[in-house]
Amino acid sequence: MITTWPAPAKLNLFLYITGRRPDGYHNLQTLFQFLDYGDTLHITPDQSGVISLLTPVAGVPDAQNLIVRAAELLKNAAQRSHSLPKNAGAQISIVKKLPMGGGLGGGSSNAATILVALNYLWQCGLTQDELANLGLQLGADVPVFVKGFAAFAEGVGEQLQPALPDEKWYLVAHPGVSISTPEVFSDPALTWDTPLRDLATLLRAPFSNDCEAVVRKRFREVDALVSWLLEYAPSRLTGTGACVFAEFDTESAARQVLELAPKGIRGFVARGVNVSPLQRTLSKRPATA
């Protein structure tokens, strides 16, 4: 039987870089919120013993696709604990809405949805924390999608504290360029010594993104998009981009601005939500034995 699972987008409502780590990564303080918008995964569990991706991504071998990697990671972990038979398999397809490299967490969200959904469908019995630890092997953003609640994140993004930011409406726009996260973090102009602050202090301050100045300087398309959106509402980069978002109090206000978007700008309007659509879907399913 085919089952359907959401893989929602996320926004970094703010993003501050507070230091460099010996391993080459950076320490962050960021606020994650989900969008009621994203990709959709269709999963059919079977007893073939094989993970089949029915909608491969051009140029990405299945073995490198986060969807397949997440499924294999869960399968191996559950078989080591003897909670999953050797013949467990699944057929997976995806309806892709989120742009790759857009700063919306599409790949990480896909991986998290696979971990959560197959843990349920295969009845592996792993806890949410165990799934989040598996997800961290795939990417620093995967645990927040697994846990499914808006969160203040520190470290490389894996230290999570639940948060309750306002659930605004957002116009999210893509300028049509692809941005490499490693390139942004290796730019010598990047600010990486923002002082550490507690969440209460950060929530009282205007939100910003330490990556934005570098990205706007390197990509005129992002600079132009931010400048345009700022005429209508508070706007900034999410993650390292390329997507930019503007916040509104109502859906209609956001849609009115989207209708004015310059030619070539792709965008959508969505509600920010503190409980992930994935968690809402899981909570509506019958408990497994």
Whether 198 is catalytic is no
10 is catalytic: yes
Question: Which residue out of 36, 39, 141, 210 is catalytically annotated?
Answer: 141
DSSP the chain: --EEEEEEEEEEEEEEEEEE-TTS-EEEEEEEEEEEEEEEEEEEEESSS-EEESSPPTTS-GGGSHHHHHHHHHHHHHHHTT-S-TT-EEEEEEE--SPTTSSS-HHHHHHHHHHHHHHHHTT----HHHHHHHHHTT-TTHHHHHHTB-EEEEETTTEEEE------EEEEEE-S----HHHHHT-TT----PPP--HHHHHHSPP-BTTHHHHHHH-HHHHHHHHHHTTTS-EEE-TT-S-EEEEESSHHHHHHHHTTPPTT-EEEEEEEESB-HHHHHHHHSPPP-
Residues with a known catalytic role: 10, 141
